[in-house]
Amino acid sequence: MQNNFKSIMSSLKEIKGRIASVKSTQKITAAMKMVASAKLRKAQYRIERFLPYENRLTNILNNFLAGYTEDGFSSPLTEVREIKRVAIVVLSSNSSLCGAFNSNIIRILQNCIKKHQDMQCEMVIYPIGKKVEEAVGKLEINAEIRGGYIHLIDKPAFEGAKEIADSLIADFLAKKIDRVELIYNHFKNTAIQIPTEEQFLPIDLSKRVEQKAVSTDYIIEPDRETLLNLLIPGSLRSKIYAILLDSSAAEQAARTVAMQIATDNADEILDDLTVQYNKQRQQAITSELLDIIGGSEALK
């Protein structure tokens, strides 16, 4: 009986230690959720400030294209050619604990790489984010990796976006690459982040004309070609910056949800451990009472 009592007490001590450990982890996940929520609000604020400019620039460009495409306007950035070399810009986070945020992006990247390998295309990969940069480093592929943009994930900056966009534009115009694709998580709301793959270059004029809001008659100086050749690169730079902001907000949203789920799971584990602890404690009390009763009977 004494050995059984010691076993129960040992089990109680173990359960108590597990409860303390889970409570400690729960405090960490709750704190991480609060930090992610604060960062998400800042990311949403940055997007809300930038989107009006981005939307206005896109609408102006689309209206120009709608008015002048029929007249035979073309740009070197719209040239569709045989794909021999493709650039892939892929965004992830710099840290983990954000659910399937990174794994979804890496899966899309792997499918994209396989597609272009099957087409026997050469590849240039721009990994923006520590997690995808590490993943790309582990892939056994023959591709040029242009890293060094990890800092843009934690602190999206237009200067960095412009550097990437200008590099892509220059390579496309020099015919060093024939196509550019973007892979990133689109922020829809706190609960939903949509893994997205889209074409960046060449520019698809037909889609832009379809997206135009209202056909507007502009008075242009010095001429429309000059203005369009300024608007198009500007729109492409804005697009890279927009996806940096978009991915940043999506990451913090994913982390907020992941930490909330972890905190809720900790609550469930604590409930189960508390029930288990109370049962073991009741068993220990019963065992001790039996020992006392048995000792009392032996003295009679």
Q: Which residue has the tokens 């206005």?
A: 56
Q: Is 229 exposed, middle or buried (0-12, 13-18, 19+ CB in 10 A)?
A: middle
Q: Are residues 85 and 203 in the same domain?
A: yes
- Residue 36 lies inside a defined structural domain of this protein: no
How high is the pLDDT of residue 293?
A: 65
Nearest to 239 by CA among 174, 154, 158: 158
The whole domain housing 214 covers 41-256
Q: Are residues 191 and 264 in the same domain?
A: no
Residue 15 is encoded by which pair of tokens?
A: 């359960």
How high is the pLDDT of residue 24?
A: 92
- Residue 184 lies inside a defined structural domain of this protein: yes
Q: Are residues 240 and 285 in the same domain?
A: no
Q: Are residues 180 and 117 in the same domain?
A: yes
Q: Are residues 79 and 179 in the same domain?
A: yes
CB 15 within 8 A of CB 273: yes
Say how many domains are in the chain: 2
Rounded CA-CA distance 200/240 in Å is 9
Q: Are residues 206 and 289 in the same domain?
A: no
User: 269-273: long-range contacts at Cβ-Cβ below 8 A with a sequence spacing of 24 or more?
Assistant: 269/22, 270/19, 270/22, 270/23, 270/26, 273/15, 273/18, 273/19, 273/22
User: If the chain, 300 residues long, is cut into consecutive pieces of 10 residues, what is the mean pLDDT of each piece?
Assistant: 62 85 92 94 91 84 68 76 94 92 95 93 94 90 89 93 95 95 93 93 72 59 77 91 94 94 92 86 71 62
Q: Are residues 9 and 85 in the same domain?
A: no
Q: Identify the domain boundary among 256, 271, 290.
A: 256
Q: What is the CATH number of the domain that holds 68?
A: 3.40.1380.10
- Residue 35 lies inside a defined structural domain of this protein: no
Q: Specify whether the backbone of 191 is left (phi greater than 0), alpha (psi in -120 to 50) or beta.
A: alpha
126 strand-pairing partners: 89
Q: How far is CA 26 from the centre of its chain?
A: 24
Q: Are residues 116 and 184 in the same domain?
A: yes
- Residue 236 lies inside a defined structural domain of this protein: yes
Q: What is the CATH number of the domain that holds 277?
A: 1.10.287.80
Strands 193-201 and 179-187: what pairing? antiparallel
Q: Are residues 211 and 288 in the same domain?
A: no
- Residue 248 lies inside a defined structural domain of this protein: yes
What pTM value is reported for the model?
Answer: 0.85
Provide CB contacts within 8 A for 99, sequence distance 6+.
254, 255, 257, 258, 261
